[in-house]
Chain A
Amino acid sequence: MTNSAALIAEARTHLGGPPGPLRVGRDPVNLPMVHHWCQALDDQNQAYLDEEFAAETRGHLIAPPGMLQTWTMDAPRGAELMGSNDHVNRLLDEAGYTSVVAVNYEHEYVRELQHGERISVRSSAEDLSEEKKTGLGLGYFTTVKHEYLTDDGEVIGIGRMRLLKFKPPAAAPEVGARPTPAIGRDNQFFWDGVQAGELRIGSCNACQTLHHPPQPICRACGSTDMGHTVSTGKGVVYSHVTHHYPKLQGVELPHTVLLVELEEGVRLVSEWATAAKPETTYVGQQVQVSFTPVPGGELRPTFTAVS
């Protein structure tokens, strides 16, 4: 998630931007759907159901305003055009906020609808909160503006949907959180690198010898001038185990642990990226680093198999 902040900043540039393509409702406003609605909600308003009463009071039958959203449900959409809302969602996904839950939906009604009118909708991004800590996880509240229009382009209603886009919890709750790495002065750079999306290897500034695990003094030349280099993240499985017993905190069983030999020549203990665990693990398997959360949500350098 190196560029999480950058992705969010980019998402903000789309707020108030152009809507996506117009999506046209499948059926015009019609009595059968109104019947279903009124039955389901036990709404006996005669302006919706009784032609005579409606003619007297409104001039014609009207649709329940609350049905605004239903007229465009399942409306087919073209994939080629991206509106501002699609961009915001895409960028949040890329930043790791891949799960979504609806928070609330507000309607604003311009006028009542009568049967036979065909309704279309277009959506745009209106607002994006700061990052919030919620019961579901870290996330952003987004506000999507839906404009409902008739065939002649008249706006007859506006809906504002607030969604929570959040990072899916990485842990099945029963396994608990993975033990945190022990971080001290001599290996802080490694874990900072993980946060920055870099696999960093300790290296001696005097003689360039690489050290993993890192150490404060170069064992080759005795220098205390230690820095680091960034690995390509390419390597091979040097050895591996699959843990079955006993249960471990923060580990979903069975759990395969890899000893990876990086192409720079150093080895590190790691594991498969949870979402990309291959069917088999074998010595010599080609792997590539990725940075993914483990149970509890902390990032680890993990690996995926490359063919």
Chain B
Amino acid sequence: MSRSFARQVAIAGIGATEFSKDSGRSELQLAGEAVLLAVKDAGLEPADVDGLTTFTMETNSEIEVAKTAGLGDLTFFSKIGYGGGAACATVQQAAIAVATGVADTVVCYRAFNERSGHRFGSGAHRGEPTSEGIAMGWVSSFGLMTPASWVAMFAQRYMHEYGATSADFGLVSVADRKHAATNPKAWFYQQPITLEDHQNSRWIVEPLHLLDCCQETDGGQALVVTTVERARDLPNPVAVVSGAAQGSAQGQQSMVSYYRDDIAGLPEMGLVAKQLWAQSGLGPDDIQTAVVYDHFTPFVLQQLEEFGFCKRGEAKDFISGGNIELGGGLPINTHGGQLGEAYLHGMNGIAEGVRQIRRTSVNQVPDVENVLVTAGTGVPTSGCILSIDQ
């Protein structure tokens, strides 16, 4: 199999606004117009676009541009650092995504009011707020300012629609802390909790208790990725990446996607799930253990539903009776999760997935063949499946 994307990918459309000293419109509008013009030039529809790539310096996030231009669900989005150095790298990353089937149609973009707005040469930042700043202003100016409160808004609606309770959320916390209790690397080593402890913990943001919220951690985590062939020559058992996917669903916002038709699910995670099952040829029954992102307990339930471990609204039944604890049908977060081990933005969870495949976890699940690992919820997200080398 060829490992190069060279000569497999083409640029099919180009589009630009006029170039001026004072555009008279927002940077978001400039980005949206340019993207739509490029799509039109390519003879495509906005909904055909399933990937976006831009600069880390771009003020218009992929999700704001996607929402504004009416693009489709995104399975690839990336930002590249180092100012103007990113320009051709946008094409490189788009090419990698398209050549490997991660996305079919990726748009590379960059838009700004560098002359009439914030001038790079002017020092301190002044002028019009960015589209991301405006998006956050819709919640912060009403006193909705913390991650717990953003998640709580979804949780309340989920409880209303499916009859889930705070005690159901508590089961996630109990499972995580049970696993952390036997993990010497975990912050909460030897400190299991009961459901009563969860229920008695103070309110952070109703309906979330303190023990629904993960801890804060100082630490670092890194992973090395190479070919399976090469990995076979290295000392450790091989953890094969059977699938890895990104998802940003229509109407996506960062933590506050309150404006979509349905806010009791996590469609971006559903998009990840669909890709992972397709890439790996696996399904929920093939997963022996999962690392399910747990910065706040409620979203663990929605994730289990989006991946099809149970039906919509039935996660509260799925997680009962110790089913997500060691010895249950689907033990999750065997390292203790972010509630129990450490909060490292999910990277420590990938490491636990590797340990389960290597059969070296302190809470080893028997006969593991495939591990699902998910990433942050409420935001454009990702997931992967790690498998033993057959």
Contact = CB atoms under 8 A, between A and B. Distances in A.
Interface of A: 178-187, 212-213, 215-220, 222, 224, 238-246, 248, 250-251, 254-255, 257, 259, 266-271, 283, 294, 300
A250 B140 CA distance: 10
Contact of B204 (A217, A218, A238, A245): A245
Interface of B: 25-26, 28-29, 32-33, 36, 46, 67-70, 128-129, 131, 133-146, 149, 152-154, 156-157, 160, 202-207, 256, 258-259, 263
Nearest to A265: B261
A222 B36 contact: yes
B29 A257 contact: no
A213 B153 contact: no
Contacts of B131: 184, 186
Nearest to A186: B26
B143 A243 contact: yes
A248 B138 CA distance: 16
A292 to B, nearest CB: 12
Given A215-B68, A216-B29, A241 B149 contact: yes
Contacts of B263: 238-239
Given A216-B32, A243-B149, A222 B70 contact: yes
6 contacts: A183-B134, A215-B28, A215-B68, A219-B67, A243-B146, A257-B142
Q: Is the interface of B mostly helix, strand, loop or mixed?
A: helix
Contacts of A212: 259
A251 B143 contact: yes
Contacts of A269: 138-139, 142, 144, 153, 256, 258
Contact of B36 (A187, A217, A241, A244): A217
A193 to B, nearest CB: 14
Given A219-B70, A245-B202, A185 B145 contact: no
B149 to A, nearest CB: 5
A283 B160 contact: yes
A239 B143 contact: no
Contact of A257 (B133, B135, B137, B143): B143
Contacts of A216: 25-26, 28-29, 32, 68
Contacts of B136: 182
B275 to A, nearest CB: 24
A224 B33 contact: yes
Contacts of A181: 137-138, 140-141
Contact of B160 (A179, A215, A239): A239
A306 to B, nearest CB: 20
Nearest to A238: B157
